Amino acid sequence: MAVMLILVDGMRPDSINMSETAQTLRKEMAYTLEGSTVYPSVTLPCHVSLVTSNEPDVHGTTTNVFVPWPESVSGLFEVLAKNRKKTGFFYNWEELRDLALPGSISHTAYYKPSDFPDGRTNDLCARDAAEYWSEEKPDFMFLYLGNVDYVGHAFGWMSDAYVKAVEQSWRIIRDMKEIMLPDDTLIVTADHGGHGYEHGSRMDSDMMIPLAVMTLGSEKYQIRKNASIMDIAPTITKLLRIVPDSSWKGISLI
């Protein structure tokens, strides 16, 4: 039993309705398109809330400049390391290097994004992540795809180029699902949405995120509507049969 988390940076829930590949995967997913992220709806604060299952005012990162979280808070990768779980992290936005303390992740790989809007870095990142997943068989792997957010800032949220980038991300999600075993679980989400050429506000367009759980086995899940990005870490520990950290505020999605 292993868990893969794929996060598509800046993917609005309503853009999923415009992705042909997402539509075909839909029947295999338990999901909500009305999940919420934390405020400010900015990449690094949202990611730190994902791994620490706490609001930004608790973990301290409120901009894209990382602030070490207090000792009273524990990160997902540290909890997994303490439980001797093998973990991998593949990403193409450099600031995410701070999502774990040094030595907490078994394998990390960073890909410098110089090629948007075609998303080739997403493909490279996913290709290596797939190889790692199949050969190394980690207990947990986090694949971060940054291209949709780049395209949103450059061409606008919900622009044709943006919708195309969302579809490209869902093709990666489909291909990653193909390499999973029946008792593995795939979680798909976003850190925030966006409007115009930006995000960061309390507007629904920025704060609402999709949260999807896919399993190839017979297990059927139901995701509650008021799900939060802070619910992801406790979901992962539940799937891996680990006790969640007592500092975490989220509740498992399943």
The binding site for Zn ion (CB under 5 A) comprises 9-10, 43, 149, 191
Q: Which backbone phi and psi does 2 adopt, to 5 degrees?
A: -130, 160
* φ, ψ of residue 20 in degrees (nearest 5): -60, -45
For residue 22, give the 3-state DSSP assignment.
Answer: helix
Return the structure tokens found at 134. Answer: 């199949």
**Angular region, 52: left φ>0, alpha ψ -120 to 50, beta rest:** alpha
Can you tell me which residue has the tokens 């701070």?
A: 98
Q: What is the Cα–Cα distance from 187 to 201, expressed in whole angstroms?
A: 25
Nearest approach, Cβ of 86 to Zn ion (angstroms)?
27
Shortest reach from residue 83's CB to Zn ion, in Å: 28
Six token digits for residue 241: 């049969």
Q: Give whichever of 43 and 168 is closer to Zn ion, judged by the CB atom.
A: 43
Query: Can you tell me the distance from the alpha carbon of 232 to that of 252, in angstroms, rounded to the nearest whole number?
Result: 7
Closer of 43 and 122 to Zn ion (Cβ): 43
Contacts of 239 (CB under 8 A, 6+ apart): 1, 3, 185, 254
CB of 29 to Zn ion, least distance (A): 22
Nearer to Zn ion, 11 or 176 (CB): 11
Q: How far apart are CA 42 and CA 62, in angstroms?
A: 8
Shortest gap between Cβ of 76 and Zn ion (angstroms)? Answer: 18
- The least distance separating Zn ion from the CB of residue 220, rounded to whole angstroms, comes to 30
Closest to Zn ion by CB, 93 or 133: 93
The three-state secondary structure class of 104 is coil
Closer residue to Zn ion (CB): 7 or 242: 7
Answer whether 99's CB lies under 8 Å from 110's CB: no
Output the residue with the shortest Cβ distance to Zn ion: 43
Of 123 and 149, nearer to Zn ion (C-beta) is 149
Quick one: tokens of 254?
Answer: 């399943």
Q: Report the nearest approach of Zn ion to the CB of residue 42 (Å).
A: 7
Tokens of 242: 């680990």
Q: How far is the CB of 2 from Zn ion (least distance, A)?
A: 25
| Separation CA 68–CA 145 (nearest Å) | 24
5/254 with CB nearer Zn ion? 5
